[in-house]
């Protein structure tokens, strides 16, 4: 079974403990938005870097590996890999968590452009953006399960 949230089963467990609204995605996102800031950061930090170490040493979850492959991140040139590596490092240095984007809704060029653009954001804006992107990832994963 596909994990909806990377290494964070607590989100689904909390949603399961609440009355269901009939909209699983909305129920899951309500849990995410009701979580403490520390829990939200832990969820964000549970995500792998794009085209990062986990992709190379094959420790990505099956869902993440498939999603990164869908955007071509498993077929990077050395120059592209170096650019991803540099942007991942700059992003992590600035925000202290990995860059998150729903890769299934974009491509390599779009991801790189978003990484560069979002480096100019403030930390609170990036936390909100990361949570919204996680919501899109979960929406697509739920659709895959349907």
In the chain, the domains with their CATH numbers are: 23-145 (1.10.3330.10)
Which residues are marked as active site? 47
Question: How confident is the model over 113-132, as a mean pLDDT?
Answer: 96
Contact partners, residue 133, CB within 8 Å, separation at least 6: 100, 101, 102
Threshold 0.85, pTM exceeds? yes
56 has a pLDDT exceeding 60: no
Triad 112, 47, 103: Cα angle to 5°: 40
Q: Please return the burial class of 71, using the count of CB atoms within 10 Å of its CB with bins 0-12, 13-18 and 19+.
A: buried
CA distance 104 to 98: 17
Lowest mean pLDDT of 26-30, 63-67, 83-87, name the range. Answer: 63-67
* 71 DSSP 8-state letter: T
């Amino acid at each position: 079974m596909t994990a909806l949230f990377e290494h964070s089963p607590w989100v689904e467990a909390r949603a399961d403990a609440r009355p269901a609204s009939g909209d699983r995605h909305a129920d899951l996102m309500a849990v995410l938005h009701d979580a403490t800031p520390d829990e939200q950061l832990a969820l964000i930090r549970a995500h792998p870097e794009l085209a990062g170490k986990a992709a190379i040493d094959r420790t990505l979850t099956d869902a993440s590996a498939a999603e990164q492959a869908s955007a071509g991140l498993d077929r990077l040139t050395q120059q592209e890999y170096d650019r991803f590596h540099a942007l991942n490092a700059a992003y992590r240095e600035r925000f202290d968590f990995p860059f998150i984007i729903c890769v299934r809704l974009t491509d390599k060029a779009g991801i790189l452009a978003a990484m560069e653009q979002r480096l100019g954001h403030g930390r609170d804006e990036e936390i909100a953006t990361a949570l919204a992107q996680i919501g899109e990832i979960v929406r697509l994963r739920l659709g895959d399960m349907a």
